[in-house]
Amino acid sequence: MATSNQPPVTPERLMQFGFAFAPPLVIGAAVKNKVFESLLGGAKTVEQVRSKTGASVRGLRAIMNALVGLELLAKNGDKYSLVPESKAFLVGDKPDSLAGFFEMTATHILPHWLQLDDAVKTGRPPVPVNQEAPGSKFFALLVENIIPINYPGALTLGEHLKLAQSRNKVRVLDIAAGSGIWGIALAQQSPNVEITAQDWPEMIATTKRIVRKFGLSDRFSYIEGDVLKADFGSGYDVATLGHILHSEGAERSRKLLKKTFNALKSGGTIAIGEWLVNDERTEPLAGLMFAINMLVHSEQGETFSFNEIKSWLEEAGFKNARTVEAPGPSPLVLATKP
């Protein structure tokens, strides 16, 4: 009798998925209860962390042991300490800290995902954050907490464009600016860079506040309104769309790219940050999962392949659509106005 060399099928992988929701919630609870901050001064016992945080010994022991299992804390005897990853990204008020993102997972992201079954059935989100009223409230908290996701890629863009070497004024249009971090990162690279940030009126207040934190208010001007209705003006050298197309959907994205083309001067560059997927929509997993995030948060949102975006750019009149490797979920997409 022939025997199969295939390994037996087991439920182990599915069981791992069963608690896949837990790590971000554990990290968020640790952030909210200041576990990581309490360990900045060195290794401590659970009781010592309790005295600094006021949280319960039982609760702290449970999440701190889980964080050891997640390799976000180290444990030696009865003392816990930070590892380099948690020290770098889960404490402190700095541009690369992800602490705020994990803290808001339970309150800001998970509630919409819990309505995924209805979104699948209807094709509509429980809260359409691409609309101005609910969107301004949603993004006012989100944008500052996703700065660490965008900041490294924005810095890479500035380096690629050689902004530090520019001796002439460089006008940048930051479309749907949110936190303003794409413009901020570019402005940091040269005093010759001037940023025009566009977003909904309520969001511009958030942009201004964050720009002030970076000490760049004198380099920014602002345009209020919806991306398809606001008057962008013209003559820009660079236009950035930092993770915007996925919330707009295909139809609005095509219109927005054409409008951006008209705002740039000849030789100008459009730079797009996105969660890209391959043409067959089979990978990468991060881009496929983010498409579901758009299902529960937007009316037409989706993730797209480079070739889809490239075709829209060419339809708008751009040439030389290309990718530039950058930190983040996907490479940047750039194109040039002839």
Task: Render pLDDT for 9-56 as a digit per residue (tens, 0 to 9).
Answer: 999 999 889 999 999 999 999 999 999 999 999 999 999 999 999 999
Residue 196 is encoded by which pair of tokens? 């025009």
Mean pLDDT of the chain: 94
Per-residue pLDDT, 92: 72
Q: Is residue 187 in some structural domain?
A: yes
At 4, the pLDDT band (50, 70, 90 cuts) reads low
Per-residue pLDDT, 3: 56
- Do residues 79 and 128 both lie within one domain? no
Residue 223 has pLDDT above 90, yes or no: yes
Nearest to 179, CA basis, from 234, 235, 240: 240
- Do residues 315 and 167 both lie within one domain? yes
**Residue % of the chain over a pLDDT of 70:** 98
- The amino acid that residue 122 corresponds to is T
Q: Is residue 189 in some structural domain?
A: yes
Q: Any alpha helices (H) in the chain, and if so which ranges? A: 12-18, 22-32, 35-38, 46-53, 57-69, 84-89, 99-103, 110-113, 116-122, 132-145, 147-160, 181-187, 201-213, 245-263, 285-295, 306-316
Out of 60-64, 82-86, 130-134, 310-314, which region has the weakest mean confidence (pLDDT)? 130-134
Mean pLDDT over 244-270 rounds to 97
Q: Is residue 98 in some structural domain?
A: no
Mean pLDDT over 97-104 rounds to 91
Q: Encode pLDDT of 115-160 as tens digits.
A: 999 999 999 998 887 777 777 778 877 888 889 889 999 999 999 9
142-172 per-residue burial string, b: 16 or more CB within 10 A, e: under 16: bbbbbbbbbbebbbbbbeebebeeeeeebbb
Supply the DSSP symbol for 8.
P
Residue 73 is encoded by which pair of tokens? 């804390």
For 187, counting Cβ atoms within 10 Å of its Cβ (0-12 exposed, 13-18 middle, 19+ buried), the class is buried
This prediction's pTM: 0.91
At 63, the pLDDT band (50, 70, 90 cuts) reads very high
Mean pLDDT over 308-315 rounds to 98
- Do residues 216 and 67 both lie within one domain? no
Q: Is residue 324 in some structural domain?
A: yes
Q: Report the CATH number that the domain containing residue 229 is assigned in CATH.
A: 3.40.50.150
Residue 1 has pLDDT above 60, yes or no: no
- Do residues 293 and 168 both lie within one domain? yes
- Do residues 79 and 162 both lie within one domain? no
Q: Is residue 40 in some structural domain?
A: yes
| Token pair 């958030």 in the structure block, residue | 206
- Do residues 45 and 188 both lie within one domain? no
Q: Which residue has the higher pLDDT, 183 or 142?
A: 183
Q: Encode pLDDT of 102-117 as tens digits.
A: 998 998 899 999 999 9
Rounded to 5°, angle at Cα 89 from 85 and 92 = 130
- The domain total for the chain is 2
- Do residues 71 and 131 both lie within one domain? no
Residue 227 has pLDDT above 80, yes or no: yes
- Do residues 181 and 292 both lie within one domain? yes
Residue 48's domain comprises 12-89
- Do residues 142 and 27 both lie within one domain? no
